[in-house]
Amino acid sequence: MELKEILKDKRKQIGWTQEKLAEELLVTSKTVSNWETGKTFPDIESLIRIAKLYHLSLDNLLTEGSDVVKDIERKTRLNTLKKFMWFPSVLNIILIMIVSQQGIFGKLPTITTILLLVSIALNVIVLSFFNREVKQEEQLSGISIHPSKRTQGFLLFVVLFLGAMLFGYLTKH
C-alpha cells in the first residue's frame, strides 16, 4: 500500500477531516490533500508526527510508502547538484575579471588569455550539464528547485560579457 493510501485510510478510520489532521500536524489542509493525492510527500518531522498520531512505526511508513524514500533521495540529489552549480559560476566570474582587467594590471600573454577563455567555456559546459541534470530530476520528482530569475539573468550576463570580451580581444589582434 502506498503512503498516500495509508494516510487517507488512517485519517478516515479515526473519522477526521483533512482540516482536523492538518491542525494536529501543524500544516495546512492543502498540504494534507497533496499528501493524500501523492502530489507531495510529508517531510521527516511530519512523518514522525503521523507515525505517533496513527500509532504506526516510522519504519513501516517508510517501507510501505517507499515513494517517500525516493522523494528524499531526489531532493537530496537536487540540492547537491544545486550546490555544485555555484563553483563553476564563481570561477567564471573570477576568470572573466582576470581577462577583462588586462588593461589595468598589464597584458597577459596570448596563450594565457586563450587558456582562460577556454576555461570559461568549459565551465559554461559544466553549468549546462548541471542545469540539465537538475531539470531531469525535477521532472522525475515533480518538484522544482530552479535557480532564481536573478541568478539565471546573472549567468546570461556573464556569458554575454564573455562573448563581448572575446570579440573585443579578437578584433584588436
Cα(119)–Cα(123) distance, integer angstroms: 6
Instruction: Determine the pLDDT at residue 29.
Output: 93
Is the pLDDT score of 162 beyond 60?
yes
Cα(68)–Cα(64) distance, integer angstroms: 9
For residue 148, the surrounding DSSP H or E stretch is none
User: Which tops the pLDDT comparison, 141 or 36?
Assistant: 36
Instruction: Determine the pLDDT at residue 115.
Output: 92
Q: CA 83 → CA 9, 25, 94, 127, distances in Å?
A: 39, 31, 18, 11
Instruction: Determine the pLDDT at residue 8.
Output: 93
Per-residue pLDDT of 82-115, as tens digits, reads: 777 778 888 888 888 788 777 766 788 889 889 9
The CATH classification of domain 3-64, taken from the options 3.60.21.10, 1.10.260.40, 1.10.3720.10, 3.40.718.10: 1.10.260.40
pTM: 0.49
